Chain A
Amino acid sequence: DAKTTQPPSMDCAEGRAANLPCNHSTISGNEYVYWYRQIHSQGPQYIIHGLKNNETNEMASLIITEDRKSSTLILPHATLRDTAVYYCIVRVHGSSNTGKLIFGQGTTLQVKP
């Protein structure tokens, strides 16, 4: 799976949009971009994933650049409960890498009142 690069930390004001960037310049054509987050002492929580097109769900939006070398996770109205470590992962779908999920250092998002 391709390597990802994220800033180690970011701050965001409560109620504002949080934009978390991720660089994955070596991504290959069949790799998906996934985002998870982990609140202290809890298991990772799936947020969203995408291949080429922008995606949106009830939690967030995922914007993937046209060349797919980077992406941005957008939390439209951040709350204090969104304070967590956010992980960007790229992975191939399929049985060949079943269970292989490599979390890098992630971005620690601190939402401030």
Chain B
Amino acid sequence: DVKVTQSSRYLVKRTGEKVFLECVQDMDHENMFWYRQDPGLGLRLIYFSYDVKMKEKGDIPEGYSVSREKKERFSLILESASTNQTSMYLCASSTPGDRWASGNTIYFGEGSWLTVV
């Protein structure tokens, strides 16, 4: 079975704290993603990575950074948390689009609910 695991389901952090959200996938997928999901705004891509140590900005990278030291692990970092970063964060993974004839289905983790106070 496909498995994307996010380390924390619920977190409460203070404004200005550095926050790490960890994600691990066991499918040997090349691509990994971080999204945030907010009511009325849908799913927004923060960053993605298509290989170890490679990263690209998504639609809303400001205030975030990422790290991918190993293929199976992709971390999202909030350098200095702010209240407008209160959200549900979703990690996902997929194969590259041109690798499999069946396409590059994106599989999601359970989500991490972050509240910044």
Contacts and interface: CB of A to CB of B under 8 A. Distances in A.
Contacts of A94: 97-98, 104
Nearest to B46: A99
A104 B111 CA distance: 19
A7 B39 CA distance: 18
Given A41-B88, A98-B96, A99-B33, 20 more contacts: A42-B110, A43-B90, A43-B108, A46-B2, A46-B108, A93-B98, A94-B104, A95-B96, A95-B97, A95-B98, A97-B97, A98-B31, A98-B56, A98-B104, A99-B31, A99-B45, A101-B35, A101-B43, A102-B43, A104-B42
Interface string A11-43: 000000000000000000000101000000111
A57 to B, nearest CB: 12
A41 B108 contact: no
Interface residues of B, number: 29
B48 A99 contact: yes
B48 to A, nearest CB: 4
Interface in A51-108: 93-104
A43 B107 CA distance: 9
Interface of B: 2, 4, 31, 33, 35, 42-43, 45, 48, 50, 56, 58, 88, 90, 92, 94, 96-98, 103-111, 113
A41 B104 contact: no
Nearest to B33: A99
A43 B31 contact: no
A32 B103 contact: yes
Mostly, the B contact residues are strand
Nearest to A92: B97
A60 B98 CA distance: 26
Nearest to A32: B103
A44 B90 contact: yes
A9 interface: no
Given A44-B108, A46-B107, A94-B97, A100 B45 contact: yes
B96 to A, nearest CB: 6
Contacts of B42: 102-104
Contacts of B2: 46
Nearest to A104: B42
